[in-house]
Amino acid sequence: MDLIIYLIYILSFVIGMIVGLLLSYKKYTEPFVSKNIDLVALVISIIGWILFLNSQFIALIPQYISITVGLFFVATVLGMRPGYGRYELAIGFIVSGLIWLVGMVLL
Rounded distance, CA 92 to CA 66, Å? 16
Neighbour count for residue 71 (Cβ, 10 Å): 23
pLDDT by position in tens, the chain (length 107): 688 999 999 999 999 999 999 998 898 877 776 677 889 999 999 999 999 998 888 888 899 999 999 999 999 999 988 878 888 999 999 999 999 899 888 87
Q: What global pTM score does this model have?
A: 0.89
User: Quick one: pLDDT at residue 34?
Assistant: 62
DSSP per-residue letters across 59-77: -SS-HHHHHHHHHHHHHHH
Burial class (CB in 10 A: 0-12, 13-18, 19+), 34: exposed
